[in-house]
Amino acid sequence: MALSEHEQRLLEQLEQQLHAEDPKFASSMAASSATGISTRRIVLGALVAVAGIAVLIFGVSLSMPWGIAVGILGFLVMGSGVYYATTKGKRVQAAVGGSRREREASSPKGFMSNLESRWDERKRDQP
C-alpha cells in the first residue's frame, strides 16, 4: 500500500527529527536497514575463499615438507576471503546519513515535543 504525499512528508519529518535528536541511534538504524554487504564483496570473497581451499588441498596433497606451509597459506587465504565477504566496506559505512550540522539545522524542536504536538493536533481535530 502506497503512502500519500502527506504521509510521506510526515515520515520524512519524523526521520529528520530522529536524526537531530539521537544521531547515533538513527545512523545505526539506517545502517542496518539501508546498507548491507554488497554483492561484489560476497562474490569476490567467495572466489578468494575457493582459491584458498584449492591451495589448501594442493598443499596437503604434497608429500614434501614445505607442503604444510602451502596448506597453511591456503588456509589463511581462505579465511581472508570469508572475512572479506562478510564485512562491510568503509565507503558503505561512511555513506550512511548526512552531516550532523545539516540534521541539527533541519529541526529546531526536539523529536518528542514535535510528536506530542502532532498528537495534540490530531486529538483536537477528532470529534
pLDDT tens profile 53-78:
999 999 989 878 888 899 999 999 99
Burial bucket for residue 73 (CB in 10 Å: 0-12, 13-18, 19+): middle
Q: Give the residue with greater pLDDT, 94 vs 11.
A: 11
Q: What is the pLDDT of residue 32?
A: 54
- Return d(Cα 70, Cα 64) in angstroms, integer: 10
Sequence-distant (≥ 6) Cβ neighbours of residue 21 within 8 angstroms: 107, 110, 111, 112
pLDDT of residue 104 exceeding 70, the answer is no
Contact 74, 54 (CB under 8 A): yes
**For the chain, domain boundaries:** 9-36+90-120, 38-87
pLDDT tens profile 3-52:
788 888 888 888 888 888 888 887 777 655 545 678 899 999 999 999 99
Q: What is the pLDDT of residue 108?
A: 57
What pTM value is reported for the model? Answer: 0.47
